[in-house]
Amino acid sequence: MPAITGDEYIKRIDTLQSNIWYDGERITGKLSEHRAFAGVMKSQAALYDLQHQKENMTFTCEKSGTGIGVSYLIPRSVEDVKKRREMIQEWATHNGGFMGRSPDYMNTVLTSFAASLDLLEGEKKTFPKKLRDFYEYARENDLSFTHTFISPQSNRSKLAFLDDEVTNARIVEKRDDGLVIRGAKLLATQGGITDEVIVYSNPGTAEEDQSYLFSIPTDTKGLTFVCRRSFVESDTPLSSRFDEMDTVVLFEDVVVPWERVFIYENVRAVTSLYKEGKFIPFTVHQIVSRQVIKAEFVLGVAQSMVDMINIGEYDHVQGKIAEIMRGVESLKALLYKGEGGGTLDEGGVYIPDPIPLYVAVSEFQAFYPRCMEIVQQLGASGMITLPSERDFSSDVGENLTFYLKGYEKNGKEKVALFRLAWDMAMSGFGTRQMHYERFFFGDPVKLAQNLYQMCPTERAKNRVEQFLQERS
Ligand SMILES: Cc1cc2nc3c(=O)[nH]c(=O)nc-3n(C[C@H](O)[C@H](O)[C@H](O)COP(=O)(O)OP(=O)(O)OC[C@H]3O[C@@H](n4cnc5c(N)ncnc54)[C@H](O)[C@@H]3O)c2cc1C
């Protein structure tokens, strides 16, 4: 089957009838009709439709001859990486970059695993061929994925391994029909609205029974998704369409069939696949491609607010907009440097330079919340004076249209723009977006540690050495 359409996506997820809990009740009926999921599933479906409506969203698979979504493409050249970026940005433009977990994210992760199988050759309790076959199956069927990597937050001390009450999902039995998994994992964004869930150990896991990589269908017996509160509100331009649900995932003796187990009880293999394989370079390239689009959207909202209330003459306002511009241009520069500075590995896979891309992701953790602060500062009371659409259609509507007017725009137009700004920077959805950009790829402290380890400093040190020698 080639790249799917939106209708096919919706039908597949509705048919699953997975075990999803929302506000104390199991969801029954069609998920695509539930208030918390309808908007985001429709947006996701539109992305699948774009694969058929726009140029260069698919490539022809050498093996099957079918048209496959480009996010499943293993890049063999810099042109391939650019092709990937263009496809990712086409999707991101559709949602302003607010869907961090549009399917290209996890398709990229799975593609990175498939391009790193050499790391598993000869490693005990790993199944590189099965992983390769699964990637091809996912690619041919255009599967969608959520993922859950992180252990519950019950004890983050360095001595947590002494804790007897393990909450993290772990292997409790090995049977003829598969691994038995018991425990919990977080935080599966889009949990329940994808075909499959990829379950992987935390980076840094030290316990064998908690080291694994597998994928199972979302409707697997014993698997439960527990949702947070929905941020969907009526009248909201973003949350009503792009609120990707986040879920805690519970494993009640879930049996993972052996054909879906790719690694188990091998700490070294899970760590090297994460750290030494293509996971980081491919994934950070996908992330920064999306973040550029999101940053440009934020710039568009901020400048529109400036124009709407005519504050562009003030120095500090120009300074704030310039701050966003600097961020946008820096992100783009880092993205292109990462793309162009890549290398071909022995297997002919083109790997973007992860360092500028990793720097971009790390910078975005602080840049994005700062942008939201700027939007709040520019908007001031306009972020609060937001009567509803119904108010505008009521008897007070005429007064509101006049008294809430902006510069050369009527009150309805001004409120529509400022409601967007509020949804982006102050609503539950907006606050979650800030939290997402800060944490989804790891907490800022760990990202800084990783960068410290990744970034070579030899050249800089040698220059200093040379400088000192020349002076002596
Ligand atoms: C909106 C959102 C969506 C997400 N979606 C997903 C998803 O789809 N799939 C998924 O797998 N994960 C997801 N995550 C989880 C994300 O990967 C984690 O939030 C991130 O890795 C940080 O881990 P944590 O939340 O457990 O924080 P913790 O590790 O518990 O950190 C809490 C605090 O303690 C500090 N701390 C903890 N340990 C140490 C240490 N060893 N040294 C120094 N300081 C430490 C941290 O710096 C931080 O300040 C999501 C997170 C968010 C917020």
User: From ligand 1's centre to the CA of 275, what distance in Å?
Assistant: 17
Question: Could you tell me the fold of the domain covering 279-459?
Answer: Butyryl-CoA Dehydrogenase, subunit A; domain 3 (1.20.140)
pLDDT at 39: 97
Does 13 have pLDDT greater than 80? yes
Does 261 have pLDDT greater than 80? yes
Q: Any alpha helices (H) in 426-457, and if so which ranges?
A: 428-439, 444-454
Q: Which protein residue has the closest C-alpha to ligand 1 atom 49?
A: 443
Mutate to test the pocket of ligand 1, among 40, 230, 443, 445 (most ligand atoms within 8 A of CB): 443
Mutate to test the pocket of ligand 1, among 110, 146, 155, 186 (most ligand atoms within 8 A of CB): 186
Which atom of ligand 1 lies at the shortest distance from residue 443's CA? 22
Which atom of ligand 1 lies at the shortest distance from residue 438's CA? 53
User: From ligand 1's centre to the CA of 151, what distance in Å?
Assistant: 9
Does 1 have pLDDT greater than 70? no
Asked if residue 295 lies in contact with residue 335, where contact means CB atoms within 8 angstroms, the answer is: no
Residue 224's H or E segment, with its range, is strand 223-227
Does 387 have pLDDT greater than 70? yes
Q: Which of 251, 249, 247 is nearest to 228 (CA)?
A: 247
The CATH 1.20.140.10 portion of the chain extends over 279-459
Distance, in Å, from the CA atom of 196 to the CA atom of 424, rounded to the nearest integer, reads 29
Does 164 have pLDDT greater than 90? no
User: From ligand 1's centre to the CA of 440, what distance in Å?
Assistant: 7
pLDDT digits (tens, 9 = 90+) for 115-151: 999 999 999 999 999 999 999 999 999 999 999 999 9
Distance, in Å, from the CA atom of 414 to the CA atom of 384, rounded to the nearest integer, reads 12
Q: Which of 29, 11, 40 is nearest to 246 (CA)?
A: 40
Asked if residue 454 lies in contact with residue 355, where contact means CB atoms within 8 angstroms, the answer is: yes
Does 26 have pLDDT greater than 90? yes
Burial class for 464, CB neighbours closer than 10 Å (0-12, 13-18, 19+): exposed
Distance, in Å, from the CA atom of 262 to the CA atom of 12, rounded to the nearest integer, reads 25
What percent of the chain lies above the pLDDT cut of 90? Answer: 93
Q: Any alpha helices (H) in 380-443, and if so which ranges?
A: 389-393, 397-403, 411-425, 428-439
Write the DSSP string, 49-114: HHHHHSTTSEEE-TTT--EEEGGGPPP-SHHHHHHHHHHHHHHHHHHTT--TTSTHHHHHHHHHHH
Does 409 have pLDDT greater than 80? yes
Question: Could you tell me the fold of the domain covering 6-275?
Answer: Butyryl-CoA Dehydrogenase, subunit A; domain 2 (2.40.110)
Residues 6+ apart with CB under 8 A from 322: none
Burial class for 305, CB neighbours closer than 10 Å (0-12, 13-18, 19+): buried
Asked if residue 145 lies in contact with residue 195, where contact means CB atoms within 8 angstroms, the answer is: yes
User: From ligand 1's centre to the CA of 246, what distance in Å?
Assistant: 13
Region 182-194: what's the mean pLDDT? 96
Task: Provide the residue type at 469 as one letter.
Answer: Q
Q: What is the mean pLDDT of the chain?
A: 96
Mutate to test the pocket of ligand 1, among 151, 156, 190 (most ligand atoms within 8 A of CB): 156
Q: Which protein residue has the closest C-alpha to ligand 1 atom 4?
A: 440
Which atom of ligand 1 lies at the shortest distance from residue 150's CA? 11
408: left (phi over 0), alpha (psi -120 to 50) or beta: left
Which atom of ligand 1 lies at the shortest distance from residue 149's CA? 11
Asked if residue 284 lies in contact with residue 361, where contact means CB atoms within 8 angstroms, the answer is: yes
pLDDT at 64: 82
Does 162 have pLDDT greater than 90? no
Measured between alpha carbons, how far is residue 197 from residues 118, 148, 155, 211 in Å?
Answer: 24, 7, 25, 16
Could you say which DSSP state residue 327 is in? H
pLDDT: which is higher, 70 or 1: 70
pLDDT at 158: 84
User: From ligand 1's centre to the CA of 200, what distance in Å?
Assistant: 15
Region 356-363: what's the mean pLDDT? 98
What percent of the chain lies above the pLDDT cut of 70? Answer: 100
pLDDT at 202: 80
pLDDT digits (tens, 9 = 90+) for 296-337: 999 999 999 999 999 999 999 999 999 999 999 999 999 999
pLDDT at 63: 83
The CATH 2.40.110.10 portion of the chain extends over 6-275
Does 204 have pLDDT greater than 90? no
Region 442-468: what's the mean pLDDT? 95
pLDDT digits (tens, 9 = 90+) for 47-66: 999 999 998 999 998 888 88
Measured between alpha carbons, how far is residue 373 from residues 132, 223, 369, 427 in Å?
Answer: 45, 39, 6, 13
Residues with C-beta less than 6 Å from any ligand 1 atom = 147-150, 153, 156, 187-189, 246, 432, 435-436, 439-440, 442-443, 445
Does 365 have pLDDT greater than 80? yes
User: From ligand 1's centre to the CA of 439, what distance in Å?
Assistant: 6
